[in-house]
């Protein structure tokens, strides 16, 4: 009788241990599943923001040289789709979806014609971009083949989303492009826009992406 009681107690202890191990394994699997989902959501949001960044930069390079007010460094008439940098928020990653919809452009949208190119967005909201002109400086060059008379620096802010509303990525780039000269504008939508546009100048001027960072 006594041995039966000991065996029963040992069985109960063993069963409790197995149950604890099963619960621990189950909790670990659930946590791992959540971590995987969060990683996928973050990657999707960043990919979407990268698409918006590419469209914004293509827009910068594709503007004809006569679309920017000639020789102007302050309070200029800027090309469609550009704003003065002082109108951009200091922390765009904290702005609401409503703010982005009101102040930015959808990736694939042409601010000049209103035309929209079809892009497959997997996220909950289409990727968006906004461009602010930071600074303009004259180069001193006279007009001629592949010559420019000024360089403009831009802040590009892009936003992408995952499938869930709270999965957001916001990136920031600093870009420079030559203006006012005898050269060809780039292409839009993006088709190796930076490389093709900047290759015209044979490294004579700063051109292209100067920096990039993720803000959210």
pTM above 0.85, yes or no: no
Helix (H, G, I), strand (E, B) or coil at 96: coil
Mean pLDDT highest for which of 16-20, 21-25, 207-211?
A: 207-211
Q: Per-residue confidence at 11, pLDDT binned at 50, 70, 90? A: low
Q: Which of 6-10, 94-98, 114-118, 145-149 has maximum average pLDDT? A: 94-98
Q: Give tens-digit pLDDT for 113-137.
A: 999 888 877 788 999 999 999 999 9
Residue closest to 47 by CA, chosen among 111, 91, 107, 131: 107
- The tokens of 95 are what? 């702005």
pLDDT above 90 (res 169): yes
pLDDT band at 202 (very low <50, low <70, confident <90, very high): confident
20 versus 174: which is more confidently predicted?
A: 174
pLDDT at 197: 92
Handedness of CA 18, 21, 25, 26 (dihedral sign): positive
Q: Which residues pair with 158 in a beta bridge?
A: 129, 171
To which residue do tokens 């960043």 refer? 46
29-86 confidence digits (pLDDT tens) = 665 665 666 789 999 999 999 999 999 999 999 999 889 888 888 888 899 999 999 9
Per the prediction, the chain carries an average pLDDT of 86
How many angstroms separate the CA atoms of 151 and 180, rounded? 9
Residues 34 and 113 sit within 8 Å (Cβ to Cβ): no
pLDDT digit string (tens) for 88-117? 999 999 999 999 999 999 999 999 899 988
């Amino acid at each position: 009788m006594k041995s039966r009681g000991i065996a029963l107690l040992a069985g109960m202890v063993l069963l409790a241990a197995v149950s604890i191990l099963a619960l621990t394994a189950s909790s670990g699997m659930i946590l791992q599943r959540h971590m995987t989902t969060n990683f996928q959501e973050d990657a999707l949001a960043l990919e979407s923001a990268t698409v918006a960044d590419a469209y914004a930069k293509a827009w910068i390079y594709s503007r004809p040289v006569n679309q920017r007010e000639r020789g102007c460094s302050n309070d200029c008439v800027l090309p469609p789709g550009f704003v003065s940098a002082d109108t951009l928020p200091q922390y765009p990653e904290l702005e609401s979806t409503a703010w982005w919809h009101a102040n930015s452009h959808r990736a694939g949208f042409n601010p000049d014609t209103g035309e929209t190119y079809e892009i497959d967005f997997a996220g909950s909201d289409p990727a968006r971009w906004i461009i602010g002109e930071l600074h303009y400086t004259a180069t001193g060059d006279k007009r001629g083949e592949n010559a420019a008379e000024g360089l403009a620096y831009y802040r590009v802010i892009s936003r992408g989303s995952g499938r869930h509303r709270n999965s957001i990525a916001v990136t920031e780039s600093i870009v420079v492009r030559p203006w006012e000269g005898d050269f060809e504008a780039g292409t839009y939508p993006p088709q190796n826009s930076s490389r093709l546009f900047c290759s015209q100048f044979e490294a004579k001027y700063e051109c292209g992406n100067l920096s990039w960072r993720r803000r959210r």
